[in-house]
Structure 1
């Protein structure tokens, strides 16, 4: 269906567009409140700045159109190839200099091998940023040692400096190779899954090895050594790419670049109003949700949300994103100081959850099980607790306002202290441990209870 046809039908009062094919259409800055787009194909559709308040997008299919997916996948393989070229170039230099009969070359080659090993080790344990930092420190230490022992060196400092420039250049090439390979692997994984990384890896390895051999002298050990050095860098980059796409915090920036890259041409909700929109079981891979208004937006069992570009929304934190996708993950879990502004946790099983000092502004817990939850010092302005189970919750210092909704709350008793006072009391209400609130009593009297 063309965008013009849908907009005309919408203006005439139609709201049900279930199952429609809207691939590649643009609804930028349009008014589509309460529209029903269940099971619709919205790959590549532009909803930027669109008002989709109350829209039903459950089981919809977002992401990239096929031609865009193929184009971006091809580009990621091109990056892999470039990474292989750089790896081979740097690998051949490292081994050739180390095996040269020239003393200067041998010193530079040996130093390069050591620094390359340090780079790989630190990148593995601390991410590429850690690896880069280790290289900088190693180079500074090398320079200090060279100056300190300058008089005992069998060559001039000018010669050492000129060769050092070449040496640093090839190290930079190796780092670029690792970075490009990691981004390419992460991008391929975001588009087509882990299998795509597995496919791109041998491709990059073959190119790296070929490049290393092409630059090596025709000596068997040199060829093998060059290839090993090149493959080591390529393997590291592939691993870092795989690790980043699986939300490893050490390589978060690689993942962010890859996700930004793979969202080009994908479904866009950039700056869209998604208040109370429903994405239950929708596919949101390669979807742009940056700066979108996500107030009580439903993400229950949403697929590929981890591959969406979420910017600074509450979906940025993997723990929060996973909680919104699986409403049972909060059971007896710790979410202290969590940002849950506008979160939709209606019907969730949050028994025993610790939400101390969490921001629950504009969130909904309608019908949720919050038995024995810790709500100490939470911000709960305009929060919907309607029909939720609040028996045994701790409400010490919680902040609510006249818009906080408690209609139909199921609550037998509460506590006003997180920890027992000097008398061993948590200030249970009602005071008598053998007495509970009657039905509707907590709802009617909660302002007095909180201020007492």
Structure 2
């Protein structure tokens, strides 16, 4: 007998590894609940509220603010060090300062146009080169001292090593500040919305401003450089964090890191089997859906699915996710798409084009497929029960004995796609005055599908 948790308060409860097939969780509060490796086939999660418990949401927001402030401190310190290097009368220091500015500028540009992952690759190369240079100079100094010629030249080389290390520290501190602030901006948005984003940015800006003012009191020009770099870091971080928040592919690493934090203590479905489960109008903010079986899972009108950890499954595709949530595919061109195992029950596919589309194991019960183009589509084990197929074009569709056609509503069908010369090809029934009687479409295609399989 299916278990009944209708309208239950299940915050923080553990259902790890349990058999909950066909269980009813509708309208329940499952924030923080653990369904790891559970059997949830056919379970009803409609109208549930998933995600973080309030205390964990507060903790994560506070953590984001503290981390943002610390990152603002790092970026301001990095900017101050660059300013000091640029103002030093020593020629080597000036060169290192210019190189630091160049590296940071290139990092910022790569971050904007190619994403943080590519920018980190550039940073790693730059810091490695700086480290090799520092070690090389240190070796020269060591050899010089070993030879007993501790002279001014050796001391000068030691100073150059220190300057290179200072430059490397300035670059690393500034870059880490940039990336961490961007991550906390995304984290704040995923946990508490745009208000938390604004507060997070303000925290980083406040700390950066304080450090820059202190640097300005020591040396106004150095402080000015620190201010300029700090402002650049804050603006870039906010931009990158918001791009990650709104699913820009270039900033996916920031998005993934922020989501891993935001969903760590949220509702956990990791490793569970959600085949044929129903999440109609559920709130799934901060839920963990990594490595779950989502075959024919119903996502109709789910809220905040984009703020759940979904990994590399079909839901990671924004367009497919939108289709599953809205189920409005009217006039859409989905030629060649992979929609295998998706739940499109009751969907509106009127006049849609599905040429060569993979629909194997998909649920299209009660869907309206009037005048849809199914030429060369793959429909093995596709569930068309009670769907409407009037006026559909089914040229060379991959029907099999496992394709479910019971209860299909269809007045007429076209066996070929229309052309200019033949706008109404191979209509069935052939007589334009006739239509299929109830159940006639199903009986007509059942033997044809068995023959095609043979």
Structure exhibiting the larger radius of gyration computed from Cα positions: 2
Provide the secondary structure at the position in 2 that maps to 1:380.
coil
Q: Structure 1: how far apart are the matches of 2:230 and 2:381?
A: 58
Shift of 1:142: 11
The runs of 5 or more residues in structure 1 that have no matched partner are: 1-12, 144-154
1:99 aligns with 2:87: yes
Q: Which moved more, 1:353-362 or 1:175-184?
A: 353-362
The equivalent of 1:147 in structure 2 is: none
Q: Structure 1: how far apart are the matches of 2:86 and 2:232?
A: 17
Q: CA RMSD in A?
A: 3.1
Q: Structure 2: how far apart are the matches of 1:123 and 1:209?
A: 23
The equivalent of 1:310 in structure 2 is: 310
Would the alpha carbon gap of residues 379 and 88 (structure 1) be closer, same or farther in structure 2, given more than 3 Å must change? Answer: same
Is this contact kept in 1: 2:130–2:168, CA < 8 A?
no
Residues 303-361 of structure 1: CA distance to partner in whole angstroms, max 9, x if unpaired? 11111111233212111111111112x22223333332321111111122233333322
Residues 355-378 of structure 1: CA distance to partner in whole angstroms, max 9, x if unpaired? 333332221111111223232333
Aligned pairs (5 A) from 1:125-136: 125-132=113-120
Q: Structure 2: how far apart are the matches of 1:158 and 1:388?
A: 80
Shift of 1:290: 1.6
Aligned pairs (5 A) from 1:35-434: 35-132=23-120, 163-215=163-215, 218-328=218-328, 330-417=329-416, 420=419, 427-430=425-428, 432=430, 434=432
Residues 90-123 of structure 1: CA distance to partner in whole angstroms, max 9, x if unpaired? 1112222223333222222233223322322332
Q: Structure 2: how far apart are the matches of 1:140 and 1:180?
A: 21
Shift of 1:44: 0.5
Q: Structure 1: how far apart are the matches of 2:126 and 2:334?
A: 40
Is this contact kept in 1: 2:65–2:199, CA < 8 A?
no
The equivalent of 2:147 in structure 1 is: none
The equivalent of 1:28 in structure 2 is: 16
Q: Which moved more, 1:227-236 or 1:297-306?
A: 227-236
Is this contact kept in 2: 1:95–1:229, CA < 8 A?
no
Q: Structure 2: how far apart are the matches of 1:167 and 1:288?
A: 41
Q: How many residues are paired up? A: 428
Q: Structure 1: how far apart are the matches of 2:175 and 2:424?
A: 58
Residues 46-70 of structure 1: CA distance to partner in whole angstroms, max 9, x if unpaired? 1112222222211111101111112
Is this contact kept in 2: 1:83–1:234, CA < 8 A?
no
Q: Structure 1: how far apart are the matches of 2:128 and 2:227?
A: 28
Provide the secondary structure at the position in 2 that maps to 1:395.
coil
Residues 203-230 of structure 1: CA distance to partner in whole angstroms, max 9, x if unpaired? 0111122234445562333323312211
Provide the secondary structure at the position in 2 that maps to 1:393.
coil
Q: Structure 1: how far apart are the matches of 2:431 and 2:169?
A: 75
TM-score by length of 1: 0.85
Q: Structure 2: how far apart are the matches of 1:446 and 1:185?
A: 56
Is this contact kept in 1: 2:82–2:225, CA < 8 A?
no
Q: Structure 2: how far apart are the matches of 1:418 and 1:253?
A: 44
Q: Structure 2: how far apart are the matches of 1:55 and 1:275?
A: 8
Shift of 1:284: 0.7
Is this contact kept in 2: 1:352–1:372, CA < 8 A?
yes
The runs of 5 or more residues in structure 2 that have no matched partner are: 132-153
Provide the secondary structure at the position in 1 that maps to 2:218.
coil
Q: Structure 2: how far apart are the matches of 1:369 and 1:392?
A: 11
Shift of 1:407: 1.6
Is this contact kept in 2: 1:375–1:398, CA < 8 A?
yes
Q: Which moved more, 1:409-418 or 1:360-369?
A: 409-418
Shift of 1:416: 4.4
Would the alpha carbon gap of residues 134 and 399 (structure 1) be closer, same or farther in structure 2, given more than 3 Å must change? Answer: same
Is this contact kept in 1: 2:412–2:436, CA < 8 A?
no
Would the alpha carbon gap of residues 216 and 357 (structure 1) be closer, same or farther in structure 2, given more than 3 Å must change? Answer: farther
Shift of 1:139: 8.3
Residues 270-304 of structure 1: CA distance to partner in whole angstroms, max 9, x if unpaired? 12222222111111111111222222221111111
Is this contact kept in 2: 1:87–1:231, CA < 8 A?
no
Would the alpha carbon gap of residues 420 and 107 (structure 1) be closer, same or farther in structure 2, given more than 3 Å must change? Answer: same
Q: Structure 2: how far apart are the matches of 1:260 and 1:400?
A: 41
Residues 368-409 of structure 1: CA distance to partner in whole angstroms, max 9, x if unpaired? 112232323333222111122223333334323222111222
The equivalent of 2:441 in structure 1 is: 442
